[in-house]
Amino acid sequence: MRITNISIYPLEVPLSEPFVISLGTITHARNLLVVISTDTGLSGQGECSPYPFINGELQEGQMASAGVLGRLWLGKDAREIENRLAELDGFLKGNLALKSAFDMALYDLNARYAGLPLYRFLGGANDRELWSDRTVSVGNPEAMAKEALKYLEMGFKAIKVKLGGPFEQDLARIKAIRSLIGLEIPLRIDANQAWTVSEGLRTLRALEPLNVEHCEEPIRAGDLAGMRFLRKNSPIPIMADESLFDHFDAMHLVQMEACDYFNIKLSKSGGISKALKIAAIGEAAGIPCQVGCFSESRLAITALVHFVLARKIVVHYDLDSPLMLSEDPVNGGVELLENGRSAVVDEQPGLGATIKEEFLDKGKCIELAIDG
């Protein structure tokens, strides 16, 4: 199955409303689409989401690098997944979000070639009901509480809340939310590195009576000694997110006993191949996993759901980025309902999803061909 053509498109979709976290504000999904075609007539699609203040990548930079990476693959066998991905890692350091789009397209293509939905190609089963949480962005306590109540009334079974200090305001935010939605529905928090170790410990101890399920990345990414201290002294479990990119990071987190959960994102890990390795480390170490997202459309979220169905160590699902988009640019794929329920309903080979033709900006497309 020789790779004959690779097409690279910028993909931009406005959000319905700005999304605010402690690191910055997002108004558009500015993603990248990679389409790999072969001499069999089959093609695969992969999407990534650059998130500069987390994965350090921009759509413009990805477009510049993607053509160089794509040329490494022209004329080569698409079935040799490990060899193809090793070529990308050997040529360009980092850039894990960009590489994840190539990785996803390759897995989509191989599952299509095998005639299997991706989750079956990965050895999984469509035997779980998945419910995504819904994220409340940073704002004043009253507005955040109303937003959380709205999601509860829509049918979501868990709420995720973005925090970012100062202490009094973060505490007021969670108290306001709990006063409207009660104490029963699972509540998860994410500080996106906003706190110092002492601020994190103070905040987490103060939040103990408010039934918080876990806290993502409370302090500066990479401070594993600080994470370990918080994990051992916090009444709320700690989840590694920005401290966890690839499987090497997963090993360091295990060795440092720095977290209770892993948060796996395809645009952070480098794609499905490395996500599988992270999940294996989590399983061996007894660390449950969550899957998360940046600003991906339903194409990449479809790949993420297929990955979840292939690995039972994934127990929490943060899949809500497509629900934040003003338009859905995807044909087929995973059904993601307005109450957070997600399911593979159409057993098509591969992802079973493609980007709609009208969202492909052909004027900005980079076209690579084996004879070009």
Of the candidates 156, 164, 111, 107, the one whose C-alpha atom is nearest the C-alpha of residue 319 is: 156
> 196, exposed or middle or buried, with CB in 10 Å at 0-12, 13-18, 19+?
middle
Q: Which of 103, 133, 170, 241 is catalytic?
A: 241
Catalytic status, residue 89:
no
Token pair recorded at residue 206: 């103060």
Catalytic residue from among 147, 170, 190, 217: 190
Tokens of 284: 């061996």
Active-site residue, 241 included: yes
* CB neighbour list of residue 267: distance below 8 Å, 6 or more residues apart: 48, 49, 50, 51, 55, 96, 97, 100, 293, 294, 296, 300
Q: Report the 10 Å Cβ neighbour count for 104.
A: 32
Return the SS3 of 3.
strand
298 phi and psi angles, rounded to 5 deg = -70, -15
- How far is it, in rounded angstroms, from Cα 192 to Cα 163? 8
CA distance 49 to 269: 12
Task: Tally Cβ neighbours within 10 Å of residue 127.
Answer: 8
Please report the DSSP string for 282-296 in residue order.
Answer: HHHHT--EEE--SS-
Backbone angles phi, psi at 142, to 5 degrees: -65, -45
Q: How far is CA 73 from the centre of its chain?
A: 25
Calculate the dihedral angle through the C-alpha atoms of 222, 223, 227, 233, rounding to the nearest 10 degrees: 180
In whole angstroms, give the CA distance from residue 254 to residue 282. 8
Is 150 labeled as catalytic in the residue annotation?
no
Contact 72, 99 (CB under 8 A): no
Catalytic residue among 160, 162, 268, 274: 162
The DSSP-derived string for 351-364 is T-EEE-GGG--TTS
Query: Would you call 162 a catalytic residue per the annotation?
Result: yes
Among residues 265, 268, 274, 296, which one is catalytic?
265
Could you say which of 103, 213, 216, 318 is catalytic?
A: 216
3-state secondary structure of 153: helix
Beta-strand relationship, 187-190 and 159-162: parallel
Spatial separation of the C-alpha atoms in residues 319 and 298, rounded to whole Å: 9
Which residues are catalytic, by number? 162, 190, 216, 241, 265
